[in-house]
A and B are shown apart, each in its own frame.
Chain A
Amino acid sequence: MLLIRCPYCEEERPELEFRNAGEAHIARSANIAGESDDDFEKFFFIRSNPKGIIYERWRHMHGCARFFNAVRDTVTDKFVMTYKAGEPKPSKLPGAAK
């Protein structure tokens, strides 16, 4: 069982308290009703599914109940970092320089 750092609770908590909520940083258009079929397809159906670093949404479902963002490595299954919902994609990842 992994430990996941909740950016709201400010500590690592057991994985059982969390739930994955899909890929992060996919913005819903403010004018979604006027979106083209192609744009809606990209927004709703297309996901990156990378080997390596992925940006995900998680929810501290059985903790503070907040949704937040996480950077996870799909190869090692390690969480690189977590940050609050609404915050921008981090420009630099911890340990990335190494």
Chain B
Amino acid sequence: MSGAFRIPSAGRLKQAKTAGFSFDGRSYTGIEGDTLASALLANGVHLVGRSFKYHRPRGFLSAGVEEPNALVQIVRDDARKTPNVRATVQELYDGLAANSQNRWPSLAFDVGAVNDIASPMFSAGFYYKTFMWPKAAWKSLYEPRIREAAGLGVSPDKPDPDHYSSRYAHCDVLVLGGGAAGIAAALAAAETGVLVILADEQAEFGGSLRFESGAKIDGQDGFGWAQAAIAKLSAMDNVRVLSRTTAFGYYAQNFVGLVERVSDHLKAPGHDLPRERLWQVRAKRVVLASGAIERHMVFADNDRPGIMLAGAARTFLNHYGVAVGRNVGVYTANDSAYAAAIDLKKAGVNVAAIVDLRDHPTGPVIDEARALGIEVNFGRAVIRAGGKLRVSSMTVQPKNGGGERTIPVDAILMSAGWTPSVHLFSQSRGKVAFNDETKRFVPGTYAQDCVSVGACNGTDGLSASVDEAYAAGAKAAKDAGAKIAKGTKPKVDASESWSRGMLGAAPGAGPDKTVKAFVDFQNDVTAKDIRQAVHEGMRSIEHVKRFTTNGMATDQGKTSNMHGLAIAAETLGKPIPEVGLTTFRAPYTPVTFGAIVSHARGPLFDPTRKTAIHPWAAAQGAVFEDVGQWKRAWYFPKGGEDMHAAVDRECVAVRTKAGLFDASTLGKIEVVGPDAAKFMELLYTNPWEKLEPGRCRYGIMLREDGFIYDDGVVGRLTPDRFHVTTTTGGAPRVMNHMEDYLQTEFPHLNVWLTSITEQWAVIAVQGPKSRDIIAPLVEGIDMSDEGLPHMSVREGKICGVPTRLFRMSFTGERGFEVNVPADYGRAVWEALWAEGQKHGAVAYGTEAMHVLRAEKGYIIVGQDTDGTVTPNDAGLDWAVGKKKTDFVGIRGMARPDLVAKGRKQLVGLKTKDPKVVLEEGAQIVENPQQAIPMKMIGHVTSSYWSENCGRSIALALVAGGRDRMGDTLYVPMPNGVIEVEVTGMVFFDETGGRLNG
């Protein structure tokens, strides 16, 4: 048995297929096709949650995505504990385990409910008025406590084991909403042959046809017609039908974000299935068929479990075969609740009374209700609900006052009318218009190529909706380029129709200050709160919203916005359109981070770039560091060495024997064309025209503001071909910078740029033995100092593969950089390594590289410069062509402040105690005795222990630094002041003799 409240003759589920599930540890049985909500209701369970602020017991308000109350935690396993799942949306699967939220110790007895009694303390604007004093208590006391008390559900504390996928899609017509209108529009568009995507958030298409028992289309009952139409659409090649798919955001140029829930409804999702799939759809035309959402009646204690929307009760009955009570009351300002009463009555449920706020309504449903023997009361209000954990009665009173009558009930079905779902229309930047007659906001001015049809457009009645939608679907297809139009419009044989209703508080909503007549269930906002906000001076609806938090919960005020607006308007004494509607924002319903992140996690979070030589370094036990997206070998520890020992050993070996270094990540750009030298002249400070082919030069690139942007060694291969190197991190922006000037400032130059960073693997071989290591493997290049002097480049072969062999040094030792096609990088490295072993060579990493270059005072752009350093500041004036009349930065460099005295200049620092290594970034002062805040005159940019120098070394930017040679300066640190001497930047081999050593 799948629950005492299941009515076997009602609903569409197959009774035989049962599914076991648990709620708060208790086991129940439902039926496949149930939602968690319908399965719980079938078992008579209404109490499913506690409210956010007052911890009031709550049940189901709705049967769909607008649900504000029934938020539960679904627990699949240790890592899969999804909080805030709407029980009305979660499909049942065998073994589903759900828990209630926001209660302790139990749902029926919740300590937090004391907030309800103490509610005068928690009135509107509570957060803004309380916790203001003392200020210090905010951080230590208030905030931690509020954080503990606030929030719903418990976040899983393990990594999400599921995967999520994403897809960009393009179509001619995108139809959002799969009720009668959406299906009709999709049929019309699909029949023309254009590409159609039809999406609906429910598991089954049909929208309100799920509960509208009176609908008949093309000779079938409405729901049956919908299923047949979907089957037909699904079979068409030009149509993609997406169920369980919510359009959550409508962005510019008909770009719509959809989330498809792929496997949350499955008992055991296969590993290959993503949990959700993000669709990013670009549509030529969009048809919005998002329907309407029923509003509740605002009266005292209207939140008791068992009080729900009439349409929801009808859905539970007509689709799921579940009676929401045995003795129900109805409270309405609208015809549609009558249909619910009639359906329930026919199914054998007692309808205690219909209470209609309207004075003299007429119509067939009213007649039918009376004919079925249901008591119908006009001009009366339900002023109060009885019961706590479940509604037990409704108290009725003539709406203008008079005698009260309490009617025992176990459920109340309510309807204040239907609000068109204009969320997506509004997100598309369309402007809504208020229809004064029907008291509805409907789509007004369109901002994009879309059209609204059916209930979301304020169109009443199935027949009119289908007609409108079919025509709109055909037109959308035509506008998107459809040539033919065939097919037949669905014929509506019978339908239900209702409209109107009321907005705002009913008589049972107060004025009594202790009355809780809820407007927004999820955020516990009452009619009184909204009135109070206006009384306290809020005039704009945006202010009322923020002050009361009305509509700001995850349900985004789907049921509450219009009521809140109407109450504010009434209190302000203004018509509704003058008060205005708050802005609808994406997402329509909550979207998981998983869906948004999609593939971009783990190895796909960001590309990890590795060189061709990386596997060799990894096999040698190298420790890697991240440099941008690159992994670079940092150091190569041997036999239990720590980093310090490894780096010391590597540094000494390079200067006494030789070292191999993987420099493949350096940016490389081939500059080719007859104007190549002219272009280089404009992009670099140096002169290039006279650089002979086969020679290299250290180049400095500035931005137009005169500050150093990048640097690197450039080789001229032939008169019209340069091999330019850039910093590792700077490669992409340098290329962009060069392309920018070439394309837009110097387009007359015949020169082209090609990134060759990844074409060439680069092996730096540095040290006194470097030539001995390379020479035996090289063919066709004279390796003598005359044939290949320092700062030159030759093309030839190494190990039988082409090489661009640079004689250059970033260590101050005799050095080479061997460029070989990347696929050969590993093998050539291994060959050089084997050769190097004969000479005691080591592999060294980026840390040793940094130390070795600092020993020589070679700067690293981005470490010793920070975007405010000129060539002069860095002591690189020699690299600026004095006779040049133009290069990027030539004017910026001459700005008054950049040539003023006292600029920070790059200098060396030696600590008085050679064992003390300064901290990079440490500030430098002239007089450590001065009062705090001290005047800081510079900072340390690079600092290392230099085993080769037997002491610490540092580079620093110091105001007027070059005039302070030999001066003593001070570096105040937490543990005391460090005394330093200002020196030149070269700490090792000042004469540079080792370059040919």
Asked if A and B form a direct contact in the complex, defined as CB atoms under 8 angstroms apart, the reply is yes
- Known: A33-B886, A57-B744, A59-B736; 14 extra A-B contacts, CB below 8 A, are A3-B253, A3-B282, A32-B890, A33-B891, A35-B891, A40-B892, A40-B895, A44-B704, A44-B705, A59-B739, A61-B736, A77-B252, A85-B744, A86-B747
Per-residue contact bits, chain A 31-51, to B (CB 8 Å; 1 contact, 0 not): 011010100100010000000
- Give the Cβ gap from A12 to chain B, nearest Cβ, in Å: 8
Residues of A close to B744: CB separation below 8 A: 57, 67, 85-86
- Give the Cβ gap from A26 to chain B, nearest Cβ, in Å: 10
User: Is residue A9 contacting chain B, with contact meaning CB distance below 8 A?
Assistant: no
Chain B residue with Cβ nearest A33 = B890
- Of A2, A44, A77, the contact of B892 (CB 8 Å cutoff): A44
User: Is residue B227 contacting chain A, with contact meaning CB distance below 8 A?
Assistant: no
Residues of B close to A98: CB separation below 8 A: none
List 24 interface pairs A-B (beta carbons < 8 Å), by A numbering. A1-B251, A1-B252, A2-B252, A28-B745, A32-B890, A32-B891, A33-B886, A33-B894, A37-B895, A40-B891, A40-B892, A40-B895, A44-B705, A44-B892, A59-B739, A61-B736, A67-B740, A67-B743, A78-B252, A85-B743, A85-B744, A85-B747, A86-B744, A86-B747
Q: Which of A49-98 contact B (CB under 8 A)?
A: 57, 59, 61, 65-67, 77-78, 85-86
Say yes or no: B895 contacts A21, CB within 8 Å.
Answer: no
**A66 to B736 Cα, complex, angstroms:** 10
Q: Which of B886-912 contact A (CB under 8 A)?
A: 886, 890-892, 894-896
**A32 to B736 Cα, complex, angstroms:** 21
- Residues of A whose CB lies within 8 Å of any CB of B are 1-3, 21, 28, 32-33, 35, 37, 40, 44, 57, 59, 61, 65-67, 77-78, 85-86
Residues of B close to A59: CB separation below 8 A: 736, 739-740
Q: Which 10 A-B pairs have the closest CB atoms?
A: A32-B891, A67-B743, A33-B890, A28-B745, A3-B253, A67-B744, A85-B744, A40-B891, A1-B255, A2-B252
**A21 to B255 Cα, complex, angstroms:** 24
Residues of A close to B704: CB separation below 8 A: 28, 44
Chain B residue with Cβ nearest A27 = B745
User: Is residue B280 contacting chain A, with contact meaning CB distance below 8 A?
Assistant: yes
Residues of A close to B929: CB separation below 8 A: none
Say yes or no: A2 contacts B745, CB within 8 Å.
Answer: no
**A77 to B890 Cα, complex, angstroms:** 36
A-B CB contacts (within 8 Å), total count:
46
Residues of B close to A1: CB separation below 8 A: 251-252, 255, 280
User: Is residue B362 contacting chain A, with contact meaning CB distance below 8 A?
Assistant: no
Chain A residue with Cβ nearest B429 = A76
**A60 to B799 Cα, complex, angstroms:** 41
Chain A residue with Cβ nearest B747 = A86
Q: Which of B203-256 contact A (CB under 8 A)?
A: 251-253, 255
Q: Which of B848-902 contact A (CB under 8 A)?
A: 885-886, 890-892, 894-896
Say yes or no: A67 contacts B280, CB within 8 Å.
Answer: no
Residues of A close to B282: CB separation below 8 A: 3
**A3 to B704 Cα, complex, angstroms:** 31
Per-residue contact bits, chain B 731-744, to A (CB 8 Å; 1 contact, 0 not): 00000100110011
- Give the Cβ gap from B391 to chain A, nearest Cβ, in Å: 48
Say yes or no: A65 contacts B739, CB within 8 Å.
Answer: yes
- Give the Cβ gap from A68 to chain B, nearest Cβ, in Å: 9
- The tally of residues in B whose CB lies under 8 Å from a CB in A reads 23
Main secondary structure of the interface of B (DSSP, over half): mixed
**A80 to B255 Cα, complex, angstroms:** 18
Residues of A close to B255: CB separation below 8 A: 1
**A85 to B741 Cα, complex, angstroms:** 12
Chain B residue with Cβ nearest A65 = B739
Residues of A close to B743: CB separation below 8 A: 66-67, 85
**A78 to B743 Cα, complex, angstroms:** 25
Residues of A close to B253: CB separation below 8 A: 2-3
Residues of A close to B894: CB separation below 8 A: 33
Residues of B close to A86: CB separation below 8 A: 744, 747
**A28 to B739 Cα, complex, angstroms:** 15
Chain B residue with Cβ nearest A36 = B891
**A2 to B254 Cα, complex, angstroms:** 9
- Give the Cβ gap from A18 to chain B, nearest Cβ, in Å: 13
Residues of B close to A37: CB separation below 8 A: 895-896
Residues of B close to A2: CB separation below 8 A: 252-253
Chain B residue with Cβ nearest A4 = B253
- Give the Cβ gap from A2 to chain B, nearest Cβ, in Å: 6
Residues of A close to B892: CB separation below 8 A: 40, 44
**A28 to B740 Cα, complex, angstroms:** 12
- Give the Cβ gap from A56 to chain B, nearest Cβ, in Å: 12
**A32 to B886 Cα, complex, angstroms:** 7
Per-residue contact bits, chain B 607-651, to A (CB 8 Å; 1 contact, 0 not): 000000000000000000000000000000000000000000000
Residues of B close to A40: CB separation below 8 A: 891-892, 895
**A66 to B739 Cα, complex, angstroms:** 9
- Give the Cβ gap from B605 to chain A, nearest Cβ, in Å: 17
- Give the Cβ gap from A28 to chain B, nearest Cβ, in Å: 5
Residues of B close to A66: CB separation below 8 A: 743
Q: Which of B258-280 contact A (CB under 8 A)?
A: 280
- Give the Cβ gap from A67 to chain B, nearest Cβ, in Å: 5
Most B CB atoms within 10 A — which of A21, A37, A44?
A44
Residues of B close to A28: CB separation below 8 A: 704, 745
Q: Which of B549-570 contact A (CB under 8 A)?
A: none
- Give the Cβ gap from A43 to chain B, nearest Cβ, in Å: 8
Chain A residue with Cβ nearest B892 = A44
Residues of B close to A85: CB separation below 8 A: 743-744, 747
Per-residue contact bits, chain B 306-321, to A (CB 8 Å; 1 contact, 0 not): 0000000000000000
Residues of A close to B747: CB separation below 8 A: 85-86
**A35 to B704 Cα, complex, angstroms:** 13
- Give the Cβ gap from A35 to chain B, nearest Cβ, in Å: 6
**A33 to B747 Cα, complex, angstroms:** 20
**A61 to B744 Cα, complex, angstroms:** 14
**A57 to B743 Cα, complex, angstroms:** 12
Chain B residue with Cβ nearest A1 = B255
**A1 to B282 Cα, complex, angstroms:** 9
- Give the Cβ gap from A25 to chain B, nearest Cβ, in Å: 10
- Give the Cβ gap from B254 to chain A, nearest Cβ, in Å: 9
Chain B residue with Cβ nearest A69 = B744
Residues of B close to A57: CB separation below 8 A: 744
- Give the Cβ gap from B737 to chain A, nearest Cβ, in Å: 11
